[in-house]
Amino acid sequence: MIVKFFKYQGAGNDFVMLDNRLGEYSKLTGFEINKLCNRNFGIGADGLIMLENAEKYHFGMRYFNADGNESTMCGNGGRCTVAFAKHLGIEKTEYNFMAIDGEHKALITNDKLVQLQMIDTLQIQPKLHGKFLNTGSPHFVLFVENLAEIDVFNQGKILRNHQAMGKGGANINFVEKLENGIKVRTYERGVENETLACGTGSVASAICFASNGLPGAKSVAVEMPGGKLIVEFTESETGFNNVWLTGPACFVFEGTINLRNCY
């Protein structure tokens, strides 16, 4: 099978993008998706995204982790999907699309920046020696000092599979407080490694950092190894709403690949 693909990245979080509006890639197996994402034998990516038709929406988004399993929401992937939609000729002032966690709105503010509205977060749960919350994907947030010295791979792997994270585990975020924001490194489940950036992880970390029990709008600059993201949200008595994730979403290259060559 010949696959026509597009490669996008958001702050270094990279994705294989497929236009699946005709359904030609719907039968790709987890094994095949894993091979396409393999950095040695395939295209190489943190995950694969299919842009599809969705009734009453401009498009639908399906996200698969690099391990080949369909997964929960990916914030940077969502922003890249919006940029991909524009590349395919879907041009809107404001985008409305459907993902696994529900409806999302998005804006393209210039050629490279995409603003994506995330789901509301209802609560932050104390767990182990950190905090747990769902921002479209489950995240554990741990505040540390000297982030550069943290063994993200080994510590993240242990926490990701800890029974306290529940069935399926969680993504693990190590966060260092800065004078004007935070610095974050994330171990992503499904990728089973540290990634250069994580959108839902940035949102989770920013909410944990800026929430103080006082109602009002908050804005947090988030530095990740692959670049900077901005998280904005409103804190209220019912939780955290009007959550927006802003950052780069860039086309890298496109091509075709024969799946047989990935085996």
Closest of 59, 117, 56 to residue 87, by C-alpha: 59
As separate numbers, helices (DSSP H) first and strands (DSSP E) second, the chain gives 4, 17
Give the Cα-Cα-Cα angle 177, 183, 189 (nearest 5 degrees): 120
**Crossing angle for the helix pair 199-210 and 75-87, to the nearest 10 degrees:** 130
- SS3 category, 20: coil
Q: What are phi and psi of 19, to 5 degrees?
A: -85, 105
Q: Which amino acid is at 223?
A: E
Sequence-distant (≥ 6) Cβ neighbours of residue 21 within 8 angstroms: 51, 52, 53, 59
Q: Active site residue: 198, 208, 250, 262, which one?
A: 198
Q: Is 262 known to be catalytic?
A: no
Q: Is 80 known to be catalytic?
A: no
CA torsion through residues 158, 141, 69, 246, sign: negative
| Contact predicate 43/16, CB 8 Å | yes
Q: Active site residue: 74, 80, 208, 250, which one?
A: 74
Quote the CA–CA distance of 206 and 123 in Å, as a whole number.
14
Active site residues: 74, 198
